[in-house]
Each structure stands twice: as structure tokens, then as C-alpha cells.
Amino acid sequence: MTAPLLAVLDYGIGNLHSAHQSFNHVGADARLTADPALIADADAVVLPGVGHFGACMRALRASGLDDIAVAAAADDRPFIGICVGMQLLYEDSTEAPGVAGLGILPGTVDRIDTGGDASLVLPQMQWNELDLVGPGVDDPLLDGLEASWMYFVHSYAGPADPDLVTSTCAYGGAVTASVRRGSTWATQFHPEKSARAGLRLLANFVDLARDGVSPGVDDAVAATEASAS
């Protein structure tokens, strides 16, 4: 089976190498790159990120990859933002007033409202359970991941847009955990740090990059074992 080519945008910040290596682990030909030609040829594009919205957005613009990311998300190829990479897809963030995001998704990223619960500190730095909601129930990226536990490190999150949100987690209320708009997906959690469940999500994305919706990790493993017997 041909490994799909994934362009992991290299703008010199965040969890670039861990995301790159994890996608290779689940069957992609993932390249950490800032080469516009390679990005244009890729089957799918990945925008990782950790840290401060403003610092990440400035680094992305300085690298010249901001417009390339917008163009990649506008075509029919699968595109995924991870953690702050997800937040950069929005118009802006209250974490960095005056710094414009990519505007691929509508709305403003805002600080998590813990509802005054003193036991809930920020950042949320823990494993938390996904609740698939709205379009997420049938989302191929989240296939097999209902009630899965993912690893989060964040103080800010995207808006609760019912047309885009595919999963939430509970932290003083429902917090946006993942979204989808057309062929663009994003996760606030770190799938590359989320053990088997995270690898399944990454493998689901690789399937989308290869040929659209296809069997999840367990089904693919079972099929391979059956053909070998």
C-alpha cells in the first residue's frame, strides 16, 4: 500500500518533530518542510503548534507559510491543525490581542471559562475524555474514538460553534476539543502524545490522505492478519 505524502509545515516552533515522527509511525510518508513545491504536491498538510498564539502566528508569517497554509486548507486535500495549530486557524485569540490568525475558521479563540471552580487550574494539563458531538458522530477522523482519552495542554480554546465542533471535553463546562470544516480538521489535544487512541486518530487522517474514508486501525490490522492466515 502506497504511503501518502504528508507535508508537516516547518515554521521552527512547537511540536514539529513529534508530530512528524508520529505520522510516519502510522504509515505516512511525512516530511517536515517549508518547501512550497513539496507542500503543493503533498496528499495532505499538517499544521502543528504549541506555546503562545502570538509567537506561533508571528513565526508562521516570518516563515512565509501563512498564505501557503490558507491555500492548502482551501483546496480539497485533508488539512489538520494540532493544538495551537488549531487555534491559528481562527480569526484571532484573546491571548494575543491585535495579532490576526489565519481566518480559515470563523471566530475568536478565548481563555477557558472554569466556572469559578478553584480546583480547575489553567492550563488544563491532563488526560481528558472526548464526547463526540454534532457532525463528530459520523466524522471519519474520529472513527472508533467515542469516549477515548486524549492528552491536553492548553488555557485557550476555540468557540463552541455547533456547525464545526466535532468533540468536546469537560473542564468547567464543555470545551471545544476538535472541529471540522470540509476537508479541514483540527484538534486541541495532542494526538501524538495520546497513546493508542491518538495513534488511531493519526492513522484515520493518513487514511483520508490516502484515499478518503477507509477502515480504522483495528479493522486494518484485522484485515492484514486475515490475509496473512
Task: Give per-residue pLDDT as tens, 145-201.
Answer: 999 999 999 999 999 999 999 999 999 999 999 999 999 999 999 999 999 999 999
120 falls within a domain = yes
Please check the confidence at residue 217 and state whether its pLDDT lies above 80. Answer: no
Measured CA to CA, the distance from residue 161 to residue 178 in angstroms comes to 11
- 184 near 79, Cβ under 8 Å? yes
User: Does the residue 141 lie in any domain?
Assistant: yes
Residue 169: inside a domain: yes
Please check whether residue 54 lies inside any domain of the structure: yes
Question: Averaged over 121-135, what is the pLDDT?
Answer: 97
Assess contact for 46 and 31: CB atoms under 8 A: no
Q: What is the pTM of this model?
A: 0.90
Residues spanned by the domain of 68: 5-224
Could you confirm whether 95 is annotated as catalytic?
no
pLDDT for 67 beyond 50: yes
State the catalytic residue, choosing from 56, 154, 169, 192. 192
Answer yes or no: is 117 within a domain.
yes
List the CATH number of the domain containing 213.
Answer: 3.40.50.880
Whether residue 204 contacts residue 140, with contact meaning beta carbons closer than 8 Å, is answered with yes
| Active-site residue, selected from the candidate residues 56, 83, 154, 169 | 83
Is 229 within a domain? no
Tally of CA atoms within 13 A in the half-sphere of 9 that contains its CB: 32
**Options 20, 154, 169, 190, the catalytic residue:** 190
Q: Summarize pLDDT for 90-102 with one digit per residue, the tens.
A: 999 999 999 999 9
Active site residue 192: yes
Residues 6+ apart with CB under 8 A from 225: none
Domain count for the chain, please give it.
Answer: 1
- Identify whether 52 is a catalytic site residue: no
